[in-house]
Structure 1
Amino acid sequence: MTPTTISPQPHDRIDMSIPRQLHSQRLVLREFRHEDWPFLHAHYRDGACTRFTFRRALSEGESWRAMASMAGHWALRGYGPYALEVRSTGQVIGAAGLWYPNDWPAPEIKWLLAREFWGQGYASEAVRAIQQMARASLPELQLISFINAENQPSIRLALAVGASFEQEVAFRGSPWHIYRHPR
């Protein structure tokens, strides 16, 4: 494993017009609203959902701050994660989008879903919509997904949407994998 290092990227701040809303067959990918955090808390309060990211369930306040962080990413980077809203019901089931914290090796496509929505194809549908948007709006951006090496469901999803394993790196005391998305 090679250790990660923080290096400035040419895409630290994108000033291009990134769509603030996307549509897929079953989802609306949109900006976060204050009233979304209780729905996202269904993900964050579930230790099985946060096992590989936070390594513990989050409190309501921590869930709100996690959502605020994703919403704030748009202001700081010019792109960010979207709330995933089911078109037929209006229910927010998770988040997905472009994500690039300062300690990440490169900009990534991230995703998260409340457990009751796992295995229904929502995450892959959202990721494909994001891949398509990124190819059209940011063709020079080389996206990854940065996944804990033990997170087999996320690894299967990355492979299913066409990402390929690139390397393993040490990150926060454990091995993580970099999966490169097709351009």
Structure 2
Amino acid sequence: MLASVIQTDRLDLRPLGLADIDSFVDLHAEAWVTRFVDPYPRDRALARLAEVERQWTERGYGLFAAVCRDSGAFIGRCGLNYWEQFDEVEAAWTLHPTAWGRGYATEAARACVDWGFEMFGFPRITAMIRHGNTASVRGAERLGFSPRREEIVAGHPVTVYVGDRI
């Protein structure tokens, strides 16, 4: 694994894994979160986290647990996710509603995008945002991403935002 932890001003980002099952399930059970991200009951969450660990092992990148450095609290997940169906790397972020409105999502996503461009030389990174998720659209725009196309992901229409390596 290439990165054990990425530190931002306020966050520690460490590889997400099976040990995070309870926090992951709790995050994806929040009604405000599941408006735009599918819920993950425990059995589905275990399969997803095993896939995240596999991506870390095979690709050297994946999703991180976002942890507040001052409190040690798990506030969500972010990172880079490879989509085989598109042959693309996506910057993904999902934070607990108690962490919204503080700039954490942009801080975490910026660190992940910069790390992806620097460590792996990706020519572009995408963000797949469900229709109506205006907060994530604003986050993608703050990252310098722009809308490029429409797709269907996990049965939901999304706008694919793209950030090109500069």
TM-score tier after normalising by the smaller chain length: 0.7 to 0.9
**Inter-partner Cα distance in structure 1 for 2:94 and 2:153:** 20
**Inter-partner Cα distance in structure 1 for 2:94 and 2:86:** 17
- 1:98/1:45 Cα in 2 relative to 1: closer, same or farther (>3 Å)? same
> What one-letter code is carried by the residue in structure 2 that aligns with 1:149?
H
- 1:140/1:102 Cα in 2 relative to 1: closer, same or farther (>3 Å)? closer
Q: Which has the higher contact order (CA 8 A, sep 6+)?
A: 1
Q: Which has the larger radius of gyration?
A: 1
Scaled by the length of structure 2, what TM-score is found? 0.86
For residues 106-150 of structure 1, give each alpha carbon's deviation from its aligned partner in whole angstroms, at most 9, with x where no partner exists: 211001111111111111000111122122212244111111122
5+ residue gaps, structure 1: 1-16
- 1:38/1:162 Cα in 2 relative to 1: closer, same or farther (>3 Å)? same
- 1:76-115 aligned within 5 A: 76-104=58-86, 106-115=88-97
Query: The residue matched to 1:135 in structure 2 has which SS?
Result: helix
**Preserved contact between residue 83 and residue 90 of structure 2 (Cα < 8 Å):** no
Where does residue 108 of structure 2 map in the other structure?
126
**Inter-partner Cα distance in structure 2 for 1:102 and 1:112:** 21
1:21 deviation in Å? Answer: 1.6
131, 134, 156: which one pairs with 1:149? 131
Scaled by the length of structure 1, what TM-score is found? 0.79
For residues 76-135 of structure 1, give each alpha carbon's deviation from its aligned partner in whole angstroms, at most 9, with x where no partner exists: 332111111111111111111110132345211001111111111111000111122122
Where does residue 35 of structure 2 map in the other structure?
51
1:171 deviation in Å? Answer: 4.1
**Inter-partner Cα distance in structure 2 for 1:98 and 1:58:** 19
Percent identical pairs in the alignment equals 28
Where does residue 158 of structure 2 map in the other structure?
176
**Preserved contact between residue 98 and residue 108 of structure 1 (Cα < 8 Å):** yes
RMSD, aligned α-carbons: 2.1
5+ residue gaps, structure 2: none
**Inter-partner Cα distance in structure 1 for 2:56 and 2:123:** 16
Is 2:10 the partner of 1:26?
yes
What is the aligned residue count?
Answer: 165
Q: Which has the higher strand share?
A: 2
